[in-house]
Amino acid sequence: MNKKILLLVILLISLATRFWNLSRYPVSLSIDEVIIGYDAYSILKTGKDHWGEPFPLAFRSVDDYKAPVLIYLMVPAIKLLGLNEWGIRFTVALFGALTPLVVFFLVEKILGSRTVSFFTAFSLAISPWHIQYSRASFEAILALFFFLAGVTCFLASLEKRGKWWWLSGILFSLSIYSYHSQRLFTPLFLLLLFFLFKKQIWQFKKKAFLALAISFLLLLPFVFLMVSGKGQSRAQSVFFTNDYELRVLRLDKLQKGNFLLAENILSGSLINSLSFWANRYLEYSDSSFLFFKGMNLTHPKFPDVGLMHFFELPFFVGGLVVLVNRLKLEKEKKRLVFLWLILGPLPASLTNNSQHPLRSLTTIPIPQLIAALGFWYFLSWLRRLKIKRICQKLVYLSLSFGLGLSLLYYFDLYFVHYPVHYSHYWMYGMKEIAQYVWKNKDKYEQIIVDADFGVEAKDITGIPFAYILTYGQEDPRIIQAVRQNKPEEFGFENFVFRSVYWPEDRKLKKTLLVASFWQLSPEEIPPEKIIEVIPLYNRMPMFYLVETQ
């Protein structure tokens, strides 16, 4: 089939799955989305982030020092579409939709098969793993795009005497600036490329040195950032040694008392840490995680979906078998596929979460490639079988039915069930709060907003100030001034952000209190004082807007 038609099909599917109802699903802007969006708006208006730092390389954000690339790339979208859900989500959705096209060319370079490339790109275009994060402004999608484009350029240049290695260097550098996981993964992967293709690299060493020099210059500021501590804060907070389970283990050992030297060596914290990490790493190969419930769209034991569709499971296993036993491929490229599969989950395994789909995005597109290979091999085997055409058509029909059912099931889970189960983690209700308080701010001397809420406990801390800034399109200079002056009570205009305590706060005059039912229990508050109740997506009343005297 014509290459352009194949690419167009993939692009249309990618765009449809990522842009359909983008402003409504996910059901609310997350904390990260809203703060990134507002920082991009602040850069657009003032050239500084909302803390007042001019064109930073690490955005302080909510003291987690976010990677800069997405925020800068978001500026044009916010300029054109405005500071709203579309403006904030458009950039990542676009790069996410373009990624399958890059994967098409990448797989073509690795395997040399247009059919398998198409299946791989198609698998990624409909992948729950990739769609989920493309729709919600996750930096990892951007980093993945740059990284895959860099690898594609590198492999394409092998046949062209290193022609575009300079571009690979730029793209790899951009990926490192885009997301934290890539800071570990990209250098390791580059070492891998060097190890596998050292002959060709040495053959065109001038081009290779040029690429290295460009990357070095681009990454020099990044090195200073890491050394300064701003770049390290995120890595330190998420490293697996901070994991709660591991800390409990260590505490347990300490409480047991003194040990013999042999015991200290043989069952000390090093061995425990190593064992813990090995367990975490191996969890990324769990079939339940990959094909049944890895995306955590619903509560445990509820129907869920994996990183890949359920119907891809047999083809994935088949693809692995084909890759090991049947596929005739240059040994460097075969090793590249295997080592990428092994290396992919490494950054994710070093963090303090188990089975984190976002952090293991670095594995893409290898699982899709393997499943596509298995599928292609199955189709070839089917064609070789001496069975009636009608039987073959029945098989194709069954496969199409399976695909259709999987997609229907996934989209149903994503658009219907996911918001019902987890709208609170997406800060649902904050937009409504922001819109209400802006509309009515002149009626009150102050509006006090409490950030804490939750469903089964008061265990979620939002950043309502960011939603109020965003939906009010507040001038960034105001919040920059607040950040500089550091008042005792954080707030701007007549908004104050602190904990609400009804027994005391009820005595305040002309004040609007905004908090969850944990702080403003409807049983304690006179009904006439409750101005508005804002529920979660599942209609559970969550936020109460209460006016005082």
Partner 1 sequence: MKSRFSFRTPVFGLFFLAFLLRVWGVFSPSLGLGRAKSSLYALQPSENFVACLKETDCFLPASYFLFRLPLYLGLTPQVVFYWAKGLSLFLGLAFLFILFQITKKAFPGQKILPLLLLFVLAVNPQFVFLSCFPTSFGLGLTAFLAAFWFLLARPLSFFSVLGVAFFSGLTLFSSAFLWLPSGLILAVLLYLTRKEKRHFLISIALSFLLFSSWLWLNKQTDFLPLKSSLAFFSDIGFINAINASRGTEREFGFPFLARALYNKAYFLVFWLSHFLGQYRLSNLFSIIEPSDSTLFLTKPMLLVFTPFFVWGFLSSFGLLSFPVSSILLLFLLLGGIPSSLASSFFYQLPFSLALIPIAFYTALGMTSILKKSLWRRFFYLFCFLNLVFTYFKIFTEMGL
- Using CB under 8 A as the binding rule, whether residue 276 contacts partner 1 is answered as yes
Number of alpha carbons in the 13 Å side-chain half-sphere of residue 424:
22
Query: By CB under 8 A, which span of 143-151, 329-337, 404-412, 439-447 interacts with partner 1?
Result: 404-412
Q: Which of 1, 5, 258, 326 binds partner 1 (CB under 8 A)?
A: 326
Which residue lies nearer to partner 1 by CB, 336 or 448? 336
Which residue lies nearer to partner 1 by CB, 263 or 459? 263
Q: How near is the Cβ of 19 to partner 1 at its closest, in Å?
A: 21
Residues 127-156 that bind partner 1 (CB under 8 A): none
Which residue lies nearer to partner 1 by CB, 244 or 509? 244
Number of alpha carbons in the 13 Å side-chain half-sphere of residue 56:
22
Q: How near is the Cβ of 363 to partner 1 at its closest, in Å?
A: 15
Q: How near is the Cβ of 322 to partner 1 at its closest, in Å?
A: 9
Q: Which residues pair with 329 in a beta bridge?
A: none
- Using CB under 8 A as the binding rule, whether residue 331 contacts partner 1 is answered as no
**How far, in Å, CA of 189 to CA of 174, rounded?**
15
- Using CB under 8 A as the binding rule, whether residue 320 contacts partner 1 is answered as yes
Pairing of strands 511-516, 446-449: parallel
Which residue lies nearer to partner 1 by CB, 262 or 457? 262
354: which 2 tokens? 């188990």
A 10 A CB-CB count for 282 gives: 11
Which residues neighbour 328 within 8 Å (Cβ) at sequence distance 6 or greater? Answer: none
Q: Which of 275, 380, 400, 521 binds partner 1 (CB under 8 A)?
A: 275
- Using CB under 8 A as the binding rule, whether residue 432 contacts partner 1 is answered as no
- Using CB under 8 A as the binding rule, whether residue 274 contacts partner 1 is answered as yes
CA separation (Å) from 344 to 3, 184, 357?
Answer: 29, 11, 11
Q: In what order do the strands lie in the sheet with 495-497?
A: 491-492, 495-497, 446-449, 511-516, 541-547, 530-535
CA pseudo-torsion sign 274, 276, 281, 286:
positive
Longest Cα–Cα distance in the chain: 86
- Using CB under 8 A as the binding rule, whether residue 459 contacts partner 1 is answered as no
- Using CB under 8 A as the binding rule, whether residue 529 contacts partner 1 is answered as no
* Tokens 């005297």 found at: 549
Size of the site for partner 1 (CB under 8 A): 45
Q: How near is the Cβ of 67 to partner 1 at its closest, in Å?
A: 30
Query: By CB under 8 A, which span of 31-39, 140-148, 301-309, 389-397 interacts with partner 1?
Result: 301-309
Amino acid residing at 265: I
Residues 374-403 that bind partner 1 (CB under 8 A): none
- DSSP string of 171-231, one letter each residue: HHHHHHHH-HHHHHHHHHHHHHHHHHSHHHHHHTHHHHHHHHHHHHHHHHHHHHHHHHSTT
- Using CB under 8 A as the binding rule, whether residue 521 contacts partner 1 is answered as no
Contact string 163-202 vs partner 1 (x = CB under 8 A)? ----------------------------------------
**How far, in Å, CA of 206 to CA of 186, rounded?**
22
Query: By CB under 8 A, which span of 74-82, 268-276, 384-392, 523-531 interacts with partner 1?
Result: 268-276
Q: Which of 310, 378, 425, 438 binds partner 1 (CB under 8 A)?
A: 310
- Using CB under 8 A as the binding rule, whether residue 549 contacts partner 1 is answered as no
Q: Which of 303, 404, 487, 541 binds partner 1 (CB under 8 A)?
A: 303
CA separation (Å) from 4 to 97, 104, 112, 156?
Answer: 16, 11, 17, 19
**How far, in Å, CA of 293 to CA of 517, rounded?**
32
Q: Which of 8, 198, 216, 412 binds partner 1 (CB under 8 A)?
A: 412
Binding site for partner 1 (CB under 8 A): 245-246, 249, 262-263, 266-267, 271-272, 274-276, 278-280, 282-283, 285-288, 291-293, 298-299, 301-303, 310, 320-321, 323-326, 408-409, 412, 415-417, 419-420, 538
